């Protein structure tokens, strides 16, 4: 039959990254296309032990319905950790456990966006968020990302030209895909502009604890005294994306509405894994695990930057101080998509930069390289192969 899809969903395309990952069936292919933690980084033994305990000691509580807001001990533990360690979240805020940070982004969109409302986003930005905004028929306005965060003049211009702006979407720390960190001065300036134009900020911060060098920068939420920042966090990059546990910290009234919106979406987030996540926070040394992750990923990042230095002259990048990605700049005349396609033909996968643009048709001489999932040997071999592809493009 002919299916009649809604206007909202008809315009949505499958994520190019998911499509690339689906194509990566060749066991010999080297993938720099993922956005996940290393497979060796999952604390599977600890999680299995806690899941066993939960199902043995409290099966009725774990296997029945839970409340939409989330498992209370987990909500309290996350709020306490974010407040005590990162001054993020105040007495006026509340917390909602969500099915991955992605759901937090989607729920905020559902709660505040009417068709045609504007969302101002960094360009490039996280495709999952851009698609969430698109699915609510938002007008997405991209603001270029500089080495220290959004171009503030362009942001102010976007705010003044779009009086129907509902929120500014920012990934301030180890941005996906650019790896950039928004400086403290720019975090303050973005908050000031949000005040001046009376819009919300969606601070999406799933990578911030994966820092391998440089100094930590306070969250935008920690600078917010007026409930203007909606903070979205996740366990995906520090524990496991498969457990689908994230959280939103925001003003009470917003959280109440997002809770109703979540009820409609999935009733509540998987309770067994909320309980496992709680035990991982309270009976497992999460901070030591994060330190171990940072050591692992620092080694991989360094291997990638070294290999690029040797094999890819004529390209450039800003060394990422954390996170999972390196944003590789090719000469202006080369489209990232063509380069990525040529690399894929040689068995090396990466994501074309244009995938992350608010305007996917704009020229984009970048590719995104993930360094967390490949081994150091694969990083070295994959970058060497990319070097050969680059020479074929006349990049010297
Ligand atoms: C910037 C950013 N935000 C949010 C997410 C969503 O993560 P999750 O839904 O797994 O918590 C991702 C995942 O890659 C991301 O890169």
- pLDDT tens per residue across span 143-178: 999 999 999 999 999 999 999 999 999 999 999 999
Q: What total number of domains does the chain contain? A: 2
In a shared domain, residues 35 and 95: no
In a shared domain, residues 100 and 212: yes
Cβ–ligand 1 contact at 126 (below 6 Å): yes
Q: Which atom of ligand 1 is nearest to the CA of 126?
A: 1
In a shared domain, residues 95 and 202: yes
What DSSP character marks residue 284? Answer: S
Q: What is the mean pLDDT of the chain?
A: 95
Residue 232, beta-bridge partner list: 204, 248
Confidence class of residue 227 from pLDDT cuts 50, 70 and 90?
very high
Give pLDDT tens digits for 9-68: 877 776 665 566 566 667 789 999 999 999 999 999 999 999 999 999 999 999 999 999
In a shared domain, residues 140 and 35: no
Helical (H) or strand (E) element with 248? strand 246-251
Q: Which DSSP string do the residues of 95-138 spell out, in sequence order? A: EEEESSHHHHHHHHHHHHPPTT-EEEEEES--HHHHHHHHHTT-
Among 282, 313, 338, where does a domain finish? 282
Confidence class of residue 8 from pLDDT cuts 50, 70 and 90?
confident
Span from the CA of 1 to the centroid of ligand 1 (angstroms): 35
Cβ–ligand 1 contact at 203 (below 6 Å): no
| Greater model confidence, 160 or 2 | 160
pLDDT computed for residue 23 by the predictor: 60
In a shared domain, residues 303 and 260: no
Cβ–ligand 1 contact at 177 (below 6 Å): no
Q: Which atom of ligand 1 is nearest to the CA of 36?
A: 14
- Does the bond joining 129 to the residue before it have cis omega, within 30 degrees of 0? no
CATH code: domain of residue 103: 3.40.640.10
Length of the chain in residues, anyone?
396
**CA distance from start to end of the chain:** 53
Tokens 């409302």 locate to: 117
Q: What does the alpha-carbon distance between residue 387 and residue 396 come to, in Å, rounded to a whole number?
A: 9
Cβ–ligand 1 contact at 89 (below 6 Å): no
Mutate which of 34, 101, 274 to test ligand 1's pocket (most atoms within 8 Å of Cβ)? 101
Instruction: Classify 178 as helix, strand or coil.
Output: coil
Residue 89 resides in a domain: yes
Domain membership of residue 312 as a residue range: 7-43+287-392
In a shared domain, residues 226 and 354: no
Span from the CA of 101 to the centroid of ligand 1 (angstroms): 6
Span from the CA of 282 to the centroid of ligand 1 (angstroms): 24
In a shared domain, residues 351 and 296: yes
Q: What does the alpha-carbon distance between residue 36 and residue 277 come to, in Å, rounded to a whole number?
A: 18
pLDDT computed for residue 384 by the predictor: 97
Span from the CA of 239 to the centroid of ligand 1 (angstroms): 13
Among 253, 282, 311, where does a domain finish? 282
Confidence class of residue 297 from pLDDT cuts 50, 70 and 90?
very high
CA 143 from chain centre, in angstroms, equals 17
In a shared domain, residues 269 and 209: yes
Provide mean pLDDT across the span 352-379.
92
Provide mean pLDDT across the span 78-87.
98
pLDDT computed for residue 25 by the predictor: 65
In a shared domain, residues 261 and 174: yes
Among 248, 264, 282, where does a domain finish? 282
**pTM of the entire predicted model:** 0.96
Span from the CA of 108 to the centroid of ligand 1 (angstroms): 15
Structure tokens at 78: 């996350």
In a shared domain, residues 161 and 252: yes
Q: Which DSSP string do the residues of 84-96 spell out, in sequence order? A: HHH----TTEEEE
């Amino acid at each position: 039959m002919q299916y009649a899809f809604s206007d909202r969903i008809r315009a949505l395309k499958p994520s190019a990254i998911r499509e690339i990952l689906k194509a990566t069936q060749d066991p010999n292919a080297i993938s720099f296309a993922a956005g996940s933690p290393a497979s060796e980084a999952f604390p599977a033994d600890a999680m299995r032990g806690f899941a066993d305990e939960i199902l043995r000691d409290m099966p009725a509580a774990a296997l029945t319905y839970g409340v939409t807001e989330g498992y209370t001990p987990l909500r309290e533990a996350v709020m306490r950790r974010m407040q005590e360690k990162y001054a993020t979240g105040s007495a006026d805020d509340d917390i909602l456990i969500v099915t991955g940070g992605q759901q937090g982004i989607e729920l905020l969109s559902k709660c505040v966006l009417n068709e045609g409302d504007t969302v101002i986003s960094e360009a490039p930005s996280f495709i999952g968020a851009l698609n969430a905004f698109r699915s609510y028929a938002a007008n997405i306005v991209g603001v270029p990302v500089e080495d220290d965060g959004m171009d503030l003049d362009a942001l102010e211009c976007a705010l003044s030209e779009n009086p129907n702006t509902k929120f500014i979407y920012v990934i301030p720390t180890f941005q996906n895909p650019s790896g950039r960190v928004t400086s403290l001065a720019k975090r303050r300036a973005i908050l000031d502009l949000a005040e001046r134009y009376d819009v919300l900020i969606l601070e999406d911060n799933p990578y911030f604890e994966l820092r391998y060098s440089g100094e930590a920068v306070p969250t935008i939420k920690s600078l917010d005294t007026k409930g203007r920042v909606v903070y979205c966090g996740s366990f995906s990059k520090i524990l496991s994306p498969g457990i689908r546990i994230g959280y939103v910290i925001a003003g009470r009234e917003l959280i109440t509405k997002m809770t109703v919106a979540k009820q409609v979406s999935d009733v509540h987030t998987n309770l067994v894994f909320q309980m496992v996540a709680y035990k991982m926070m309270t009976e497992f040394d999460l901070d030591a695990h994060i330190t171990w992750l940072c050591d692992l990923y620092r080694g991989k990042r360094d291997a990638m930057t070294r290999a690029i230095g040797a094999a890819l002259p004529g390209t450039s990048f800003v060394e990422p101080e954390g996170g999972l990605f390196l944003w590789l700049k090719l000469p202006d005349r080369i489209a990232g998509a063509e380069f990525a396609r040529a690399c894929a033909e040689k068995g090396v996968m990466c994501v074309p930069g244009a995938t992350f643009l608010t305007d996917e048709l704009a020229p984009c001489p970048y590719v995104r390289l993930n360094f967390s999932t490949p081994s150091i040997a694969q990083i070295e071999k994959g970058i060497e192969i990319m070097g050969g592809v680059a020479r074929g493009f006349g990049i010297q």
